[in-house]
Structure formats: structure tokens, C-alpha cells
Chain A
């Protein structure tokens, strides 16, 4: 219709942002293409903003293919390095997203291939395979703990040893232990208390005894 919209105000589009390092698109998101354009011209602040901005996105892309957090981070770093090295190959007239995603996919596929090759050739060293020359390091921890506790109990004075064996190892009640040993309940309590104290002293690692 002729004349229609003549009185309507012309919408203004902001071309250059007031913040030089933070160009945004009309939807409010940062414009990666323009950040990259500035990075190519040597604007370090724009480059930092871009790299920090794309990192969570790349992490999400990598998380689709890798499970371990370390692998994901390695892939992200690999992609960032590649982006850095081929940043001159970016054409600012084309969208940045597909360019970045293409690089990310290439690097991820390369890493997956390398991983598959390594898995086919190498066996991962599990903690179970670890062993050392010193025999003590290869002893099962639970067994060695029980053995050293029994050894320490044997070294206690006779009354303390009797109290701890009855009350702790045989799990007798104070009444039963008093009846069996012919000692008073309070004497048994004192003996047990002292026995635990002595055991603590005996079993404390050598380095802490001083």
C-alpha cells in the first residue's frame, strides 16, 4: 500500500557497541565472529573473551564423546590450541559457530581414533598390579592391621590384657567379666581404660611417637 508506514519511526540498529571488547548480537549473545575478527587483528582482550566464552560450549561438545573429566579437559585444550593455530584460516564473512564445531569434531575424532589404537595395543596398569621390593608394602592392609593389634595386646601388662580380651575381643559385659575374673567392675573399667591408652601408644606410627 503506498504511503503505508511513512509515519512509522525507522528502527535503529546499533552497529558498533559502546563496549569495544564485548560485541553482542541482537539476541544479547556475544558475537563470536566479531570477537574472532578482532582477535585476528591482534586484540588480546577480545581473544580472551572469545576463548573463555567458547570453552563451556566446547566442554559440552567434548562431553558427548568422553566420560572422564580429564579426557574432556584434554580434548577442550586440544581444540583451543588448534583454533589458535588455524585462526588465520577463519573467514569473518562466514559464521564462527560451524567453523569452531568443524575443528572440534576433527580433533575429537582424532583423539578417539588415537584412544582406540592405544587400547588395542596397551594394557592399562591397574592399582592391583602395583608392587614394590619392600615386602611390608605388599602385605594386605586389613590382615597386617589385625596382626599388629594382636601383637600389641600381647605386650600389655597381664591385668590390662585380661580386661581388654574379655571386654573387647570376647565382647563380655562388665558383670560377666567381673564374675569370670573375680575383679571388681571399677577395677576392670580402669584396666580397660589404661589398656586402650597403652595400645594407642604402642600402635602410633614411629614418626608420631616423639
Chain B
């Protein structure tokens, strides 16, 4: 076993200058900027849904979109705040108002619009394109989040993954509503809540080990020694 003074010698020997982390709000803003870039690229390639102008006149749709976007923004800020060692756990409550708004509009839509699922409600072609959008949005955003929050692997992996997963899920859901005509309630329900649950579930199941993997890959040898300690 290494003695503590020897360990201190080793740590001092590899104490190279480090670049301090920028404030969490700024880092969250950078991540959101990246998300906006991904969405813009998708809009250029895929084009927004044809009836967007029409839908934007409907308050429930607008509130739902705003709720998803707010959840994404607030959850991103929360995950960056919580990733700091001395960041308060209360930050995890930050996305709750947005989440409540988002989930309530989906539920409201379900109640009032339940019968609107027509014969074309469950088209497979649209579902496949939805899935492509889902992957194209959530994969780069998740990777960016894992890289940016790798230092949290040793501190609060579960809480950070949960908040990060929620942010990715909300932004993805926002993208889906923006790009796909999901008129049938059941489709909205599946794609919005289903995606959110899927991403949040994956984040809590694999987030911790993925975070550790990214940390081991991007951080120096010390992590390997540490991981086996």
C-alpha cells in the first residue's frame, strides 16, 4: 500500500497548471448553444414541420413547447451547478416548474384531444423519421454533456446524470415537436414522454458507468489508480 506522504509526492510531481472551470451558468449556456446549433442544422437538413405556423397559434402547443424548452434549459443549468463539489443539491429542483408545465400540457392535450387519433395516426414512416431525429438530437447532446461533466464522475454521478438526462430529453422532445407532425395525441404522448422516460432511464442506468468511462478516457492516469483504490 502506498503511504500518504508518498502519494502526496506523486501528486505534487504531476501537478501541472490547470485551467479553471468557467462558471456553471456559462458552461450551461455553452451546452445550450451547442444544442441550438444541432437543432438549427437539423432544421436546415430536415426542415420544420409544415404546419408549424398554424400550430404556433394554438396556446396548448406553444405552452407545451415552451415547457419542454424551459425544462431543457433549467435542467442543463441544474446539472452543471450540481456537478460542482460544493454545489447545493437544491439545484435539482430547478427544472421542476418547467417539467410541470410541459407534462401538464401533454396531459391536457390527451384529455381534450383523445379521439383525434385518425387512421393515419400511427404511420410507421413518420415514426422511423422521428426515431432518426431523436438519435440525431440526443446522441451529440449526451456526448457533449458527458464530456463537459466528466469531473462529476467521482462526486455525484447519479444526480448529475439524472439532471443531464432530463435536459437532453426535454431538448429532444422540443426538437421532435418542431420537426414532426405528431397530430395524434397518442403519438405526442409516446414521443414526448416516451423519449423523456427512455433517455432519463438510460441516463440513470448507464450514465454513471458512461461518465466513469469518459472520465477515465479524458482524465490522466490518476483516475485509473483511483478507480481501483
> Which residues of A are in contact with B by a Cβ distance under 8 Å?
39-42, 44, 47-48, 51-52, 55, 70, 73-74, 76-78, 80-82, 84-92, 94, 98-99, 102-103, 106-107
Contact pick for A106, options B7, B21, B156, B219, CB 8 Å: B156
Contact bitstring B8-43, A, C-beta under 8 A = 1, else 0: 100111111111110100000000000000000000
Task: Say yes or no: A88-B85 contact (C-beta < 8 A), given A77-B2, A81-B229.
Answer: no
What residues on A are CB-neighbors of B4 within 8 Å?
55, 73, 76-77, 80
Does B226 contact A51, Cβ atoms closer than 8 Å?
Answer: no
What residues on A are CB-neighbors of B85 within 8 Å?
86, 89-90, 99, 102-103, 106
Distance in angstroms between the alpha carbons of A73 and B2 in the assembled complex: 10
Contact pick for B226, options A41, A55, A85, A91, CB 8 Å: A85
| Closest beta carbon of chain A to B216's beta carbon, Å | 11
Distance in angstroms between the alpha carbons of A98 and B1 in the assembled complex: 29
Contact pick for A42, options B2, B11, B16, B20, CB 8 Å: B16
Does A80 contact B8, Cβ atoms closer than 8 Å?
Answer: yes
Distance in angstroms between the alpha carbons of A176 and B210 in the assembled complex: 86
21 of the cross-chain contacts (CB-CB < 8 Å) are A40-B17, A42-B18, A47-B11, A47-B12, A77-B2, A78-B229, A80-B8, A81-B7, A82-B226, A85-B222, A85-B223, A86-B85, A87-B18, A89-B21, A89-B151, A91-B23, A98-B86, A102-B155, A106-B85, A106-B155, A106-B156
What residues on B are CB-neighbors of A74 within 8 Å?
1, 229
What residues on B are CB-neighbors of A86 within 8 Å?
85, 151, 154-155
Q: Does residue B225 face the partner (Cβ distance < 8 Å to A)? A: yes
Interface of chain B, main secondary structure: loop
Q: Does residue B84 face the partner (Cβ distance < 8 Å to A)? A: yes
- Sort chain B's interface into a size bin: 20 to 34
Does A85 contact B2, Cβ atoms closer than 8 Å?
Answer: no
Q: A73-B4, A89-B151 are in contact. List 17 more A-B contacts (CB 8 A).
A: A40-B18, A42-B17, A74-B229, A77-B7, A80-B7, A81-B7, A81-B222, A81-B229, A82-B155, A85-B151, A85-B226, A88-B20, A90-B85, A91-B21, A91-B84, A98-B86, A102-B155
Task: Say yes or no: A44-B154 contact (C-beta < 8 A), given A89-B21, A91-B21.
Answer: no
Distance in angstroms between the alpha carbons of A87 and B222 in the assembled complex: 13
The 9 closest A-B pairs by CB, nearest first: A42-B17, A88-B18, A102-B85, A81-B226, A99-B86, A48-B12, A47-B15, A51-B8, A102-B86
What residues on A are CB-neighbors of B21 within 8 Å?
88-89, 91
Does B8 contact A55, Cβ atoms closer than 8 Å?
Answer: yes
Distance in angstroms between the alpha carbons of A84 and B225 in the assembled complex: 12
Distance in angstroms between the alpha carbons of A15 and B229 in the assembled complex: 41
Distance in angstroms between the alpha carbons of A80 and B2 in the assembled complex: 13
| Closest beta carbon of chain B to A54's beta carbon, Å | 10
Does B20 contact A70, Cβ atoms closer than 8 Å?
Answer: no
